[in-house]
Structure 1
Amino acid sequence: MALLVFDSGIGGLGVVAALNQLTPGLPLSYLADNGFFPYGEKPDEILLPHILNVLGTAIAREQPDAVVIACNTASTIALPALRAAFALPFIGCVPPIKPAAAASRSRTIGVLATAATVRRPYLNGLIAQFAPDCRVLSLGTPALAELAEQKFRGAEVDVSTAVAPLFKQPGGAEIDAIALGCTHYTFLLPELQALRPQISWHDPALPVARQTLKIIAPLSLSPAPRRAHFTGETLPPALLAPFALSS
């Protein structure tokens, strides 16, 4: 009995790292649906039943006390259906619009996310709630998640081409804060900050970890092996070791 952290690939490992920082040794397992990666370009009618099936199998196997959907695309598409299907706490992941808006002085903020997250009405709801006085420019791109996966495996990456269209939009030069709407982008923060050091970049990993600890506080998590599971390629132990996970 422990926490299950789910993502389409390596993105949710950023949330695992944040959980490790806040509560070292927290019993958890990690599930990466990398056999179906990337999620962001697939239609909702394919993704929703697939996510329900993959997580249903994992929940039956792991018997978790709570589940973190450490994937913005999966959160915006599947959270209501997951909560209806399983009597478990589910913690979702949303673009950090609120802190980006709070940090902005120009009142023009950006959102970098997958195409699926950008097109969902949920994003507009967050903007209306937390950034009603801001001009919000969004870019949905498959490239950044792919680059994050490559960097995680040791490749050098260049993010400039992938993010350039965001700043080419009308008003793009005034962006002074950007919400990262995909947990994969956590692993690209050094490159993004180097590209535009004057911009305040907002990563979802730590807020998701804090919310997770708040939700599970009343639960009694039993000690359990910290393992990672993959629907596709299994990552080498050396890549999992920094997250205190084994395959």
Structure 2
Amino acid sequence: MDTGASVPAGRSLVFDSGIGGMGVVQALRDLLPALHIDYLADTALFPYGEQPDDLLTSRIVSLLVAACERLQPDILVIACNTASTIALPALRQRLNIPVVGCVPPIRWAGRVSTSRVIGLLSTSATARRPYILRLHQDFAPDCRLITHGARQLADLAERAFLGEAIADSDVQYELTCLFSQPHGGEIDTVGLGCTHYTFLMDAFERLSPPGITWLDPAPAVARQVRTILQEASCSSATSRPGRLLMTRAPQNAARLEGAAQKLGFSQWDVFSVPAPGMAEA
């Protein structure tokens, strides 16, 4: 059996607009227990969904170039669908380390669906991007794709991560928006198009129509990281604990610390970048 113990000890940086990428962190911890993980959340601009693409691309690149210079990771993991769909090419041009993105699992859904009607639950920004149409045309052209861009699920997921009780009615509303669309009753497979939604998976499975297969891409991202690290020459392990960094101090610091400690982060700190690209924040 291939385990994380066979992977050279290396350093990773996981990035998201908020704390939803912690689902990817959990998948990395499960598969690669020896991997050092730093986490950076752009909380000053959360949520990314309603921001212009050009602003986001400039900000993400400036922020992550600075973060990689400071933290010196062997690999960068973009645990954010919005950032992945707009900034991956620019990041790969600027950085000399592997950059792994997280994209909606449309190809995966096309492989497992038997009804050939698949759903995508994402943020509103991800749902309307041309990238989704290209994924559909390239990897699941024989399937009907039904999307719903949910406006409140990312916030609900962050609250769930912090241990708050989430009303079923709030989740049910977004699910109804997906399954009540024309041909929505034929959906048999739904992909998560936002990393935050991992923390709502139990509610999705409980509240959705019977027989729905839900696809969370976080484990696939972890497997891709493992493959890259197995082929790369990584830095030696660092003894310092992983850092949880945010571009704005959280209002719920005590609850955040409690939740983050379960994933190996002992404390959080503010990450600031004195660069022109950050002025818009």
> Does 1:188 find its partner at 2:208?
no
Residue type of the partner of 1:178? V
The CA deviation string for residues 65-119 of structure 1, in whole angstroms up to 9 with x for no partner, is: 1100010000001001111112221000011112222221111000011122122
**Number of aligned pairs?**
247
Residues 163 and 259, structure 2, Cα contact 8 Å, conserved in 1: no
Please name the residue that 1:4 is paired with: 13
Please name the residue that 2:233 is paired with: 219
Residue type of the partner of 2:227? K
Select the residue among 261, 270, 277 that pairs with 1:241: 261
Please name the residue that 2:245 is paired with: 229
Residues 27 and 221, structure 1, Cα contact 8 Å, conserved in 2: no
Please name the residue that 2:184 is paired with: 172
Please name the residue that 1:114 is paired with: 123
Distance 1:201 1:45 in 2: 32
> Does 1:204 find its partner at 2:204?
no
Name the SS of the counterpart of 2:262 in structure 1: helix
Greater mean deviation of Cα atoms: 121-130 or 72-81: 121-130
The CA deviation string for residues 205-237 of structure 1, in whole angstroms up to 9 with x for no partner, is: 101111111112223242222121111235433
Q: TM-score, normalised by structure 1?
A: 0.95
Alignment gaps of 5+ in structure 1 = none
Distance 1:85 1:23 in 2: 27
CA RMSD after TM alignment:
1.4
Residues 96 and 179, structure 1, Cα contact 8 Å, conserved in 2: yes
* Identity in percent: 50
Could you tell me how far 1:160 is from its partner in structure 2?
A: 0.6
> Does 1:33 find its partner at 2:33?
no
Could you tell me how far 1:129 is from its partner in structure 2?
A: 2.3
Residues 40 and 244, structure 2, Cα contact 8 Å, conserved in 1: yes
Select the residue among 51, 55, 68 that pairs with 1:42: 51
Alignment gaps of 5+ in structure 2 = 1-9, 268-281
Please name the residue that 1:96 is paired with: 105
Distance 1:65 1:25 in 2: 14
Name the SS of the counterpart of 1:40 in structure 2: helix
Name the SS of the counterpart of 2:191 in structure 1: strand
Larger radius of gyration: 2
Name the SS of the counterpart of 1:212 in structure 2: helix
Residues 27 and 222, structure 1, Cα contact 8 Å, conserved in 2: no
